[in-house]
Amino acid sequence: MTMNRAKILEKLAVIRDLPSIPEVVGKVMALVKDPEISISRISRFIEEDPVITAKVLQIANSPLFRGTREITSLSYAASRLGLKEVEKIILSISIMKGIKGMNKRDTRLFWKHCVSVALMTEVVNKFSKTPLPGNDPANNDLFVGGLLHDIGLLVLKHHFTDEYDQVILVCEAGETNLYETELEMLGTSHAEIGAELARNWNIPDSVAAMIAWHHDPERAPDAHLRLAQTVNIADFICNNQGLGFSGEVNIRKFSNTAWFALGLKIEDVEEMLDEVKEKAKESELLSMIG
């Protein structure tokens, strides 16, 4: 017997080992939005978490970023990498810790999907006819929302395994995609569950909206419509081109409205893909998982 939405949300509220992000991540995400914030103030927050600090230093000292001398302090790392990069690293570490119960191959593919969509969301914005400028706070949400968009899948697969196996079987046997089948069989979706989770983490509403509406962007509140449309297109391109794998077997849909609103052209897709592949090569994020 399949669980319905109310039961799933009820159970979700009491599950103890949901993917979590350390308190420091929520704080940093809020602080990074403040243009007046100093690197040393953010560094002090991050230093409260020694695991994250060690990882940021490790990445700052990797060949891609390292200059002539070893980086041993977090504020030096942040000034070298930039705060946005530091935010990406700490968020990525948190999500990776949340991937449980998948075999090594699936974990790698899922992680590749998350990182590819994060990079693609930024690239889709860049190719759109009216890109969000770098100094717009929403620009900062592009990568983060892309990285987190499918986080609800982890919860459904890990905590509602039997119900979710049924969803997957129906998708594999027919032509419906995961999102539609989840809504039909569970009355909820990985998008809703993911957004619910993100709200518990205290992350910005704009990012929660990207997660909630990445399969149905036109239902996003006006303030976040643009971000939801951007992640919808990025997700479609990555799925369609096999950049990682999130479990979606029937990929056919993307929002036409989003495509035209962003002013994208079909001939841009190849260039966008090249750019994401290049960024992925340069990024340390993909190699962070075993």
Alpha carbons within 13 A on the beta-carbon side of 244 = 27
Does 49 bind Fe ion (CB under 5 A)? Our answer is: no
Closer of 49 and 163 to Fe ion (Cβ): 163
The distance of closest approach from Cβ of residue 242 to Fe ion in the complex, given in angstroms and rounded to an integer, is: 15
Query: Among the candidate windows 104-112, 134-142, 149-157, 270-278, which touches Fe ion by CB under 5 A?
Result: 149-157
CB 37 within 8 A of CB 81: no
Query: Among the candidate windows 143-151, 155-163, 164-172, 252-260, which touches Fe ion by CB under 5 A?
Result: 143-151
Collect all residues with Cβ–Cβ distance below 8 Å to 232 and sequence separation of at least 6. 213, 214, 215, 217, 254, 255, 258
CB 87 within 8 A of CB 269: no
Closer of 150 and 268 to Fe ion (Cβ): 150
Number of residues forming the site for Fe ion (CB under 5 A): 1
Residue 57 host element (H or E): helix 50-60
Q: List the one residue out of 279, 290, 289 whose CA is nearest residue 64.
A: 279
The distance of closest approach from Cβ of residue 107 to Fe ion in the complex, given in angstroms and rounded to an integer, is: 17
Does 192 bind Fe ion (CB under 5 A)? Our answer is: no
Does 150 bind Fe ion (CB under 5 A)? Our answer is: yes
Sign of the CA dihedral with 188 first, then 191, 195, and 197 last: positive
Query: Among the candidate windows 75-83, 145-153, 164-172, 180-188, which touches Fe ion by CB under 5 A?
Result: 145-153
Closer of 53 and 206 to Fe ion (Cβ): 206
The residue nearest Fe ion at its CB is 150
Q: Which residues bind Fe ion (CB under 5 A)?
A: 150
